[in-house]
Chain A
Amino acid sequence: MADLRDDAPITTSKRSDRIVEASENLLERKGDTLVGRSVTINRPRAELYAYWRDFTNLASFMDNVERVDSIDDITSHWVVKAPGGKTVEWDAAITEERPDELIAWASTEGADVPNSGRIDFRDAGDRGTVVTATILYDPPAGFIGKVIAKVFQREPAIQARRDLRRFKQLMETGEIATAARTRKQFEEETA
């Protein structure tokens, strides 16, 4: 069979088995569903890295994340919104970091949603910085799985795309765009 390999990112492959290769980039592999997404942000690499590296900032632009608490320099505790006003929680630890360049993490044992991933920051000349998120997660089976799917609005790729857009808005404009007219509408949208 002809070799169909190309230079496109593995996350855009039509073949599902290439997920194994994608996970080779992660020191620790947790999860079997892959999401990859890049966004170009018109800010310096170091500034973006610093904001992301403080995990307690992440809830400001990740829609489903209620809060992230810092346990120590490498471990964090995640509280994520679930339907019916409930939450699911897990701990995650940084598995690799290179200042201004890379942050990789994996959930620790017993996580409700085993997950791992990496955020890469690459210079893009006068366009700023390309930020690439690569996330592996493991939607658990059964009832819990259904709940979790709802947590991620059934489509983690969409959520990742929207979260990265919000990160870009926050970094480039200092705020997250909203079309709400009143505070009441705004609170309903972000609830």
Chain B
Amino acid sequence: MRALAWHGKHDVRVDTVDDPEILNPRDAIIKVTSTAICGSDLHLYDGYIPTMQAGDILGHEFMGEVVETGPRSTLKKGQRVVVPFTIACGGCYHCGKHQYSACDNANPADNQDIAQTLYGQPMSGLFGYSHMTGGYAGGQAEYVRVPFSDVGPIVIPDGIDDDKVLFLSDILPTGWQAAEFAQIEPGDTVAVWGCGPVGLFCVQSAFLMGAERVIAIDHFPRRLELAAKFGAETLNFEESKTYEALMEMTGGIGPDACIDAVGLEAHGLFVDNVWDQIKVSTFTGTDRTHSIRQAIIACRKGGRVSMPAVYGGFVDKFPLGAFMEKGLTLKTGQTHVQHYLPGLLAAIMEGKIDTTFLISHRMPLSEAPEGYKIFHDHQNDVTKVVLKPGLDRVAA
């Protein structure tokens, strides 16, 4: 089959590799019909995530058709499914508590050592996201082996277009969980840093959860425009001073909840960002963290900070004093995708949530390297790239 493989920083290629096979009883093989490039894939593309190996197949946002099942899979051939990016077993204590991204078992035993050493406990496996999260081949491919297929994938009723449901795999539940973690109360003002796909879904989710105002912060006009369409007030940090603007927009109180949907590649022209870049390249610090610092400083006293943004290593200049003195609550984590799937699929089918607005580019899988390049280089215009392996099949 054809698959998009990582070969190094800014070097991804469509390789021909062996087709996946059923290896465990609960496996299924999915023939991919749509797969998106995630903002967090750009962290891999930029070489920020350790434990990548040349030849690793990327992609953790995908859906497709079931073509083969193991004896203990509950899926049936021909079903259309969306596959959560978090792989979870369904049988451990954490899965029992619906903390799927903390699954004890989905990450292979030998791989768990890496995260155990770095984080204290290993987390669940993820598709296409380095060997620390299991080393599973990802979904930017024609076919994918999906372990624990009786727990993860959600079956999509006929007649619903891929574009409407593909983002159930990651970014929609991620945005929803982030808003839920912000514990929004009626009348709240919520500030969202980063109007990428997750940030935009945070905006939609925050309003659905009863926020009175949402302030969307970014510097790409196109993305701010999309946030405004959902009713957000916009703050362009190249035009206005973020902290000062947030204080004035909230009558000097600060936002009740702050959501950092930017993460370790915070872009912007800040002195500490440049310093962070130097440290990243010299291995003295892994993560660039401007947005989370700003969120903590701007947040109102006793407020909530939610951090869907991806961080991997250590940070310094974390405003721990402000965090403590103001009595903030911080909640974060990889998304417990399986927990949110039924409710969010229903919301899509009822027309309460629209996800299709996000897709700016549709390309065949063979053009995936170009997809990465334009997503990386033109973040204003390229809001989401969806790869369609079927377009290659039509051409061939």
Contacts and interface: CB of A to CB of B under 8 A. Distances in A.
Interface of A: 40, 42, 127-128, 158, 161-163, 165-166, 168-169, 172-184, 186
Shortest 9 CB-CB contacts between residues of A and residues of B: A165-B109, A172-B91, A179-B135, A175-B24, A173-B89, A162-B109, A169-B105, A181-B20, A179-B136
Nearest to B106: A177
Contacts of B90: 173
B26 A173 contact: yes
Query: What bracket does the count of chain B residues touching chain A fall in?
Result: 35 or more
A84 B98 CA distance: 45
A122 B91 CA distance: 19
Contacts of B158: none
B175 to A, nearest CB: 28
B48 interface: no
B296 to A, nearest CB: 34
Nearest to A158: B113
A40 B93 CA distance: 9
A89 B125 CA distance: 35
Given A173-B89, A173-B91, A181 B109 contact: no
Given A168-B104, A182-B19, A183-B21, A162 B91 contact: no
Given A42-B91, A184-B18, A174 B25 contact: yes
Given A175-B26, A181-B57, 7 more contacts: A42-B92, A162-B110, A165-B112, A174-B25, A178-B108, A181-B17, A186-B23
A179 B111 contact: yes
A186 B108 CA distance: 12
A161 B113 CA distance: 9
A173 to B, nearest CB: 4
A179 B137 contact: yes
Interface in B6-27: 17-21, 23-26
A169 B88 CA distance: 11
B92 A172 contact: yes
A109 to B, nearest CB: 33
Contacts of A168: 92, 104-105
A174 B105 CA distance: 11
Nearest to B19: A182
A40 B96 CA distance: 14
A181 B92 contact: no
A174 B26 contact: yes
Nearest to B18: A182
8 contacts: A42-B93, A165-B109, A166-B109, A168-B92, A172-B92, A173-B91, A177-B105, A177-B108
